[in-house]
Amino acid sequence: MSAPQLPDISTLSTVDAIAFYTRQVSEVFAIRPGTPGRSERLAALFEWKRALHERIERERAERGTAL
């Protein structure tokens, strides 16, 4: 199993990106630990999540609703 290409986050709305991430997490955690490629897929997904969080924080700051 190879790490899938994750979509460019800038092409998705924030809501669609969150929905995509949620579906992907569900799929990855359904894969048994130790399955070849699972770790790489999980690492790629967490990196994508980091970018999503940065985007959300930028949007909050622009709206003046930053935490």
Quote the pLDDT of residue 5.
84
Residue pair 45/25 in contact (Cβ under 8 Å)? The answer is yes
Q: Which residue has the higher pLDDT, 26 or 65?
A: 26
pLDDT at 3: 53
What are the tens digits of pLDDT across the range 2-42?
A: 556 899 999 999 999 999 999 999 999 999 999 999 999 99
Question: H-helix or E-strand containing 59?
Answer: helix 38-63
Boundaries of every domain in the chain? 36-67
Q: What is the pLDDT of residue 24?
A: 95
Nearest to 18 by CA among 47, 56, 44: 56
Q: In this structure, which amino acid lies at residue 56?
A: I
pLDDT at 65: 81
Determine the pLDDT at residue 4. 64
